[in-house]
Chain A
Amino acid sequence: MSSDTLLAENIFFSVASKDILKGVTTRADKGIITGLLGRNGSGKSTMLQAMYGTLKVQECSVFTNGTLINASYAKAGLVNYLPQNSFLPVDLTLNSIVRQFAIDLAIVFAYFPDLKDDLNKKIGALSGGKERLWSVLLLLLAKTRFTLLDEPFTHIMPLHIDQLKLLLTEMKHKKGIIITDHNYRHLLDVSDRVYLMKDGKSIYIRDYSDLVLHGYLRHLDE
């Protein structure tokens, strides 16, 4: 497997004299799903948007395979990003969006056969869960080398989450993926390595007990 890396180094971000990120570094590697956990406001989304290049931060250097890049989002075929809230235009049909992102619908329908009926619908006519699922699928199957997913499991029903986790596991062989989510069980299921965002830094998580040790969980359920 060829190595392909997107690295965001020394990310500093503060707002209203509060330090959100204190020189944190993160990376996406082809073949690996990186999971990011953290409490609300710990800087997970900020870090992803800094890496994506749409958020101005005090300091951040982004490299792809060692080459420094600016505005990584604007480099065709490099990286895409799922924001926390809906980003698809409500007045467009799924068909037109699918064409725009040039994704392979055969893969979508192999994992989610019940989505076939949605194609001629406008985004505004989809349920919140379906809209979220389509958003994740569009970015995951788009021809980019890296995908950053901010809360991809939110609003999606359990049956679809199970299928989505299978698809994520397949797609990691084609691209580097970073996921953040508060549904930590799903995130831990698919992630090959996990970091916890705390006090503006990222902490490598070796096993579930570290999440208790660092105060993210009160106790381990099982």
Chain B
Amino acid sequence: MVNRGQLKAIWAFYKHYSVSSILFTLFCAWLFWEYDALFQIMFIKLATGWLIWYFIISFHSQKLFYYYNLHVHKRTLWGGYFFIDFFVLFFILVTIRFLK
């Protein structure tokens, strides 16, 4: 079970590394607005998600100890990160669908 402190840590982790993923999400939103390309959007999000994960574990692995020291399991940390990321994407896509 994830406690409040761990949730705060996951949120801090997402905020810290969110810039690139939000840029990719905005690109996906544009694709959806222009072309309705849902399959391509999912592929781009998965591929860029893997890239972000690879970048962080390759070049920022020491920084992850901050979250480990708050007793957040690796699975929970990354699961939380991608949950928020996909939730933001889903929210934007639904909003676009509504506006169109």
A interface vs B, CB < 8 Å?
Answer: 52, 54, 71, 73-78, 80-89, 91-92, 100-102, 138-139, 142
Contacts and interface: CB of A to CB of B under 8 A. Distances in A.
A86 B62 contact: yes
A121 B33 CA distance: 42
Interface residues of B, number: 19
Contacts of A54: 65, 68, 74
Contact of A76 (B3, B16, B64): B3
Per DSSP, chain B at the interface is helix
Interface of B: 3, 5, 8-9, 12, 16, 62-66, 68-74, 76
Contacts, number: 56
Given A89-B12, A89-B16, A91-B16, A100 B65 contact: no
26 contacts: A54-B68, A54-B74, A71-B73, A73-B69, A73-B71, A73-B73, A74-B76, A75-B71, A76-B71, A78-B71, A81-B65, A81-B68, A81-B69, A82-B65, A83-B62, A86-B63, A87-B69, A89-B12, A89-B63, A92-B12, A100-B5, A100-B8, A100-B12, A102-B5, A138-B69, A139-B69
Contacts of A87: 62-66, 69
A85 B76 CA distance: 23
Nearest to A91: B16
